[in-house]
Amino acid sequence: MVAILHEGKTDKSFFTTLFDAYGINATEDNIKYYNFEGIENIFKIGHDYYNEIENDNIISKMLIVIDADKNYSEHQKRLEELIVNFEFEDIEIDYFLMSDESKRGNLESFLLSVLDDEQKECIKKFRECYKYELTDKWAYNTFYKQKNYPFDFNHQNFNELKQKIQNLFN
């Protein structure tokens, strides 16, 4: 069984959609999701979920997915330290930081990064016209959420995540 550790409530539905798009049969029989309800909880090595994973003896691979926010390098370093400090036996661990091309942002930034140039320009113009700072989360929820992920999951920005997912299920 594999585990996906994530920080927010929308992440599971994102991965369910992504697995469907890639033809991966991810069911309760082969995958377990852990919603840590915040990025700081992911970094707590004594978190109850880590104890559960260690004591279950059913998890063979684990993918930790968090938002890069404005701290890509810091979060990357903290994840690598966390993984080194785990004392899990026989669990292969990897991670992925959600971000746009500038290594900033969150799940919504990552999704918006795969839009075509015309869509990106439209959002940019709206933000300029509106004259208030509108986050990627706002833009995603306003323009794209209701379309049920109209994203090209084969876009090059998905390549790294797709490879990590394939490794997770191999």
Residues of the chain above pLDDT 90, percent: 61
- With contact defined as beta carbons under 8 Å apart, do 5 and 63 qualify? yes
pLDDT at 91: 93
pLDDT at 146: 66
pLDDT at 149: 56
Among the residues of 89-152, which ranges form H helices?
Answer: 107-112, 117-130, 136-143
pLDDT at 124: 87
Domains of the chain, by residue range, sit at 2-115+152-169
Task: Report, at the CATH architecture level, how domain 2-115+152-169 is classified.
Answer: 3-Layer(aba) Sandwich (3.40)
User: Which residues, given as ranges, of the chain have pLDDT below 50?
Assistant: none
User: Hey, what are 20's tokens?
Assistant: 């469907």
Name every residue whose Cβ is closer than 8 Å to that of residue 143 and which is 6 or more positions away in sequence: 123
CA 9 distance to own-chain centroid: 11
